[in-house]
Structure 1
Amino acid sequence: MLVLPQYVMVVLKGSVPMAFGGTQEPAAYGELVSIGGLNPDVNKKLSAAIASILESKLSIPKSRFYLKFHDSKRSDFGWNDSTF
């Protein structure tokens, strides 16, 4: 999968009250949207990489987050007075 950094955007919201599995221990929820390129194999690799980052940088165990993957059409994104 080709990743062009100029098209990558990350939004982090800290200190959001969240209950996961009945506790308020550190947890996370993320959504990853792509214009093409997602499939079960790619999603699995991305999930593992993101899990590693969440665990090492934010101390969120791999068992305490969900990721939602969504593959979109180019025409679903507007940018620079047009669509992709």
Structure 2
Amino acid sequence: MIVLKGSIPISFGGTEQPAAYAELVSIGGLNPDTNKKLSGAIATILESKLSVPKSRFFLKFYDTKGSNFGWNGSTF
């Protein structure tokens, strides 16, 4: 799931030039190598499609257990 919210003021590095903040939550599967690849790919998309420079993008990774999420009356 991806949620984009535009037109929200953001100060990054002391300026209000185009910037982005994202949180990526995964139910298992994240590790330093995967995070690096995902970060690079997302930064490239933000730069090419939304004109957000790679140097003005912050990405937070969060890996969680399936038991922390509920769906259909149960947990994963």
Give the structure-2-normalised TM-score. Answer: 0.97
- Moved segments of 4+, more than 2 Å: none
C-alpha distance after superposition, 1:1-38 (max 9, x if no partner): xxxxxxxx111111111000111000000000000000
Equivalent residue for 1:64? 56
Q: What's the TM-score, normalizing by structure 1? A: 0.88
Alpha-carbon RMSD: 0.6
Select 1:45's aligned residue among 33, 37, 41: 37
C-alpha distance in 2, partners of 1:68/1:21?
Answer: 17
- Give the one of 16, 19, 31 matched to 2:11: 19
Q: Unpaired runs of 5+ in structure 1?
A: 1-8
Letter in 2 for 1:26: P
> Which residue number in structure 1 is paired with residue 24 of structure 2?
32
Code of the aligned partner of 1:58: L
Distance 1:37 1:61 in 2: 27
Query: Within 2, Cα distance between the matches of 1:26 and 1:76?
Result: 34
